[in-house]
């Protein structure tokens, strides 16, 4: 009398030997198992290697504001020139202005402006971007780009300025100007929003946008300016410089993190870097 297990093994062997069909089924099943295990092993080691490479690579994160949520408000006690609120239309002495798109409003209307007025977009999908007109509060002595006469000098919220190309025009002249914005005088220093790709990173509750990559635009001699300034050095004046550049450039070109030396993603061609170290 054999032990039950040996008995079972012997019986299975007998069955396999007497039935070639069973034997080949068994063989192909085993082959499949081996194949699956091998492929699985390859995939796992590939993923592990990739993760390891990613962890070892220093990664450069440039945070990008979610412009759909609102503006980047800065408070001022006194506007340097006659200013009108973009929500109420009233003349204002103090209030808030957005350092990216340049709109000015009364302090208590900032929430409403966040909701109703669009800020300068950092990244877009459309290639031929249109002007982004900001109504009123033109720089003093502005000249209309169409009829070449003074504009923005009437009291009240009137006439327009494009927050990308800095062109100023009369309300009535807007139809005489090409609708497509070419980014103006400083186009070869600006990263056009159509060339920026953002991505969402971080876990729930801390999700935020960062610059994923930047594509080279079709602009001759394009050499974008990247402005990095340390907020803490100097008398804290770097904020004024940063505000001015956010207004002029794509705000993703302006950062307060001075610890990186390379732009994120596949953007090795950016070779112009301005570091502002404001010292006392």
Ligand X SMILES: *[C@@H]1O[C@H](CO)[C@@H](O)[C@H](O)[C@H]1NC(C)=O
Interface region with ligand X, contact rule CB under 6 A, candidates 48-56, 134-142, 228-236, 270-278: 134-142
User: Interface with ligand X includes 12 (CB under 6 A)?
Assistant: no
Question: Is residue 163 a contact residue for ligand X (CB under 6 A)?
Answer: no
- Does 146 bind ligand X (CB under 6 A)? Our answer is yes
DSSP track, 168-235: EE-GGGGGGS-SB---GGGGGGS--GGGEEEEEESSTTS-EEEEEEEPPPS-TT----EEEE-SSSTT
142 binds ligand X (CB under 6 A): yes
Who contacts 234 (Cβ-Cβ below 8 Å, separation ≥6)?
Answer: 277, 278, 279, 280
| CA dihedral for 71, 77, 81, 86, sign (positive or negative) | positive
Question: Helices 4-18 and 20-56 sit at what angle, rounded to 10 degrees?
Answer: 110
**Residue choice 104, 122, 123, 134 for contact with ligand X (CB under 6 A):** 134
CA distance 156 to 136: 8
- Given 260, 273, 276, 278, the residue binding ligand X (CB under 6 A): 260
Q: Using alpha carbons only, how large is the chain's radius of gyration in Å?
A: 31
Stretch that binds ligand X, among 12-20, 135-143, 207-215, 228-236 (CB under 6 A): 135-143
Binds ligand X (CB under 6 A): choice among 92, 104, 110, 254: 110
| 114, 188, 194, 230: residue in contact with ligand X (rule CB under 6 A) | 114
Q: In the set 147, 179, 200, 275, which binds ligand X (CB under 6 A)?
A: 147
Residue selected from 16, 79, 106, 166 as contacting ligand X according to rule CB under 6 A: 166
Q: Which helix (H) or strand (E) holds 255?
A: strand 254-255
Site residues (CB under 6 A) for ligand X? Answer: 59-61, 69-71, 73, 86, 89, 110-111, 114, 117, 133-135, 139, 142, 146-147, 157, 166, 168, 176, 185, 248, 257, 259-260
């Amino acid at each position: 009398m054999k032990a039950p297990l040996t008995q079972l093994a012997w019986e299975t062997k007998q069955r396999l030997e007497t039935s070639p069909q069973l034997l080949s089924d068994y063989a192909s099943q085993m082959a499949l198992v081996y194949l699956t295990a091998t492929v699985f092993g390859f995939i796992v080691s590939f993923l592990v290697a990739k993760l390891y490479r990613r962890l070892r690579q220093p990664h450069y994160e440039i945070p990008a504001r979610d412009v759909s949520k609102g503006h980047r408000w800065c408070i001022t006690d006194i506007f340097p020139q006659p200013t009108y609120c973009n929500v109420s239309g009233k003349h204002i002495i103090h209030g808030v202005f957005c350092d990216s798109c340049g709109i000015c409003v009364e302090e208590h209307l900032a929430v409403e402006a966040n909701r109703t007025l669009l800020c300068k977009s950092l990244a877009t999908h459309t290639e031929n971007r249109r002007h982004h007109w900001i109504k009123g509060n033109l720089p003093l002595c502005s000249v209309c780009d169409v009829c070449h006469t003074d504009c923005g000098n009437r009291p009240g919220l009137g006439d327009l300025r494009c927050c990308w190309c800095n062109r100023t025009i009369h309300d009535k002249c807007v139809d005489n100007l090409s609708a497509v914005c070419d980014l103006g005088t400083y186009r070869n220093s600006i990263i056009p929003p159509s060339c920026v790709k953002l991505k969402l990173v971080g876990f729930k509750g801390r999700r935020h946008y960062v610059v994923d990559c930047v594509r080279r635009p079709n602009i001759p001699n394009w050499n974008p300016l990247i402005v990095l300034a340390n907020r803490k050095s100097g008398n804290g004046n770097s904020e004024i410089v940063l505000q001015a550049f956010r207004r002029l450039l794509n705000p993703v070109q302006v950062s307060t993190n001075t610890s990186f030396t390379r732009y994120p993603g596949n953007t090795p061609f950016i070779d112009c870097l301005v570091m502002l170290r404001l010292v006392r």
